[in-house]
């Protein structure tokens, strides 16, 4: 098929109907956001069992929760910037790997400090993921469906929290607090091959950054979407080509990518309330108030 000599690949995507691979990518971003929703609240679902097993109080558990927020803030600020430098696909795979390792190692923690370290580590992946999937959902959508698809992606977060909480309640009836993190690690690991096989690199990112092999990557992506190849990439500024991964540590870039702690706090402060009637409160077990979520 003849190459389109002057067409901008981003315009082709924006003006064409959504292809099957584009719909699949949006569905995967919804699932990834749901995964983030569960991973953030995993410590809340596991907290009653941790408190009983280690004999610790609420203040210590609050310390663990705050450590995860630190990781999420750092991940959003730095890994979100990395996604603009090395690509969306690599960042998604990297964040999934970090989250999987963090969840697995949380099950091996022997105390509050060990668990806190691994929750910071997991939070890095969660924060980076939240920053990257917004761009992925937008860049794989056409102009007509972009707002809808980004909104659908955002809905995945509360869905993951609710569904994950329900599954955790069932798992905790058969095992200790570690089963929550084991389930989270397994669910996270499942998404690694899904992203690897079904999420190509963003054509928008390839056109903007133009790394080595960008034209071939763009044409592979266009081919998977059912579009003809292009002969050349759109022109970009010299400044954009000269930027490096090290730029994300500059003061100007850090200010642009600053985390939004009020957003993290709003999500996390609702965790006990969301889990209150998941089988761990006095309304479910009036004789066992040590399992109560109603703090």
- Mean pLDDT rounded to a whole number for the chain: 84
What letter would DSSP give residue 246?
G
| 174 contacts: CB under 8 Å, gap ≥ 6 | none
Residue 237 lies in a domain: no
Residue 205 lies in a domain: yes
Domain that holds residue 36: 9-231+253-291
CB distance 118 to 102 below 8 Å: yes
Write the CA distances from 135 to 73, 138, 152, 175, integer angstroms.
18, 5, 13, 38
- Looking at residue 63, its pLDDT comes to 84
Residue 19 lies in a domain: yes
Residue in 143, 99, 137 with CA at minimum distance from that of residue 121: 99
The rounded distance, in Å, linking the Cα atoms of 86 and 245 is: 7
Write the pLDDT tens digit of every residue in 163-219.
999 999 999 998 899 999 999 999 999 999 999 999 999 999 999 999 999 999 999
Confidence of residue 282 (pLDDT cuts 50, 70, 90): very low
CATH number at 260 reads 1.20.1250.20
Residue 93 lies in a domain: yes
| 232 contacts: CB under 8 Å, gap ≥ 6 | 5, 215
Residue 182 lies in a domain: yes
**pTM > 0.95:** no
Residue 4 in 3-state DSSP?
Answer: strand
Number of domains in the chain: 1
Q: What's the residue count for the chain?
A: 295
Task: Locate 234 and state its tokens.
Answer: 């759109």
What letter would DSSP give residue 230?
B
Using the predicted structure, report yes or no on whether residue 254 has a pLDDT greater than 60: no
Q: Report the chain's terminal Cα–Cα distance, integer Å.
A: 65
Confidence of residue 80 (pLDDT cuts 50, 70, 90): confident
Residue 245 lies in a domain: no
Residue with tokens 């890095």, as numbered in its chain: 124
Confidence of residue 7 (pLDDT cuts 50, 70, 90): confident
The rounded distance, in Å, linking the Cα atoms of 34 and 37 is: 5
Residue 42 in 3-state DSSP?
Answer: helix
Residue 3 lies in a domain: no
Residue 64 lies in a domain: yes
**HEC-encoded secondary structure of 76-92:** HHHHHHHHHHHCHHHHH
């Amino acid at each position: 098929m003849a190459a389109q000599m002057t067409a901008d690949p981003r315009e082709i995507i924006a003006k064409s109907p959504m292809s099957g691979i584009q719909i699949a990518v949006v569905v995967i971003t919804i699932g990834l956001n749901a995964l983030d929703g569960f991973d953030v609240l995993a410590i809340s679902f596991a907290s009653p069992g941790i408190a009983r097993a280690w004999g610790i109080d609420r203040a210590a558990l609050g310390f663990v929760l705050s450590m995860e927020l630190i990781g999420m803030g750092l991940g959003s600020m730095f890994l979100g910037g990395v996604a603009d430098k090395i690509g969306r696909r690599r960042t998604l795979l990297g964040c999934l790997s970090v989250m999987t390792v963090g969840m697995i190692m949380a099950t091996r923690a022997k105390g509050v400090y060990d668990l806190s370290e691994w929750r910071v580590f997991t939070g890095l992946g969660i924060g980076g993921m939240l920053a990257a999937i917004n761009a992925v959902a937008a860049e794989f959508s056409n102009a007509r469906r972009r707002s809808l698809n980004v909104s659908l992606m955002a809905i995945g977060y509360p869905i993951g929290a609710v569904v994950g909480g329900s599954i955790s309640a069932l798992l905790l009836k058969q095992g200790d607090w570690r089963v929550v993190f084991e389930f989270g690690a397994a669910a996270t690991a499942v998404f690694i091959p899904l992203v690897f096989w079904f999420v190509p690199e963003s054509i928008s990112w390839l056109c903007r950054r133009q790394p080595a092999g960008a034209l071939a990557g763009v044409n592979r992506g266009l081919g998977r979407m059912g579009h003809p190849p292009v002969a050349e990439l759109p022109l970009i500024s010299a400044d954009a080509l000269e930027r490096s991964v090290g730029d994300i540590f500059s003061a100007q870039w850090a200010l642009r990518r600053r985390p939004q702690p009020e957003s993290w706090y709003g999500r996390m402060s609702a965790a006990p309330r969301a889990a209150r009637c998941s089988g761990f409160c006095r309304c479910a077990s009036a004789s066992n108030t040590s399992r109560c979520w109603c703090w």
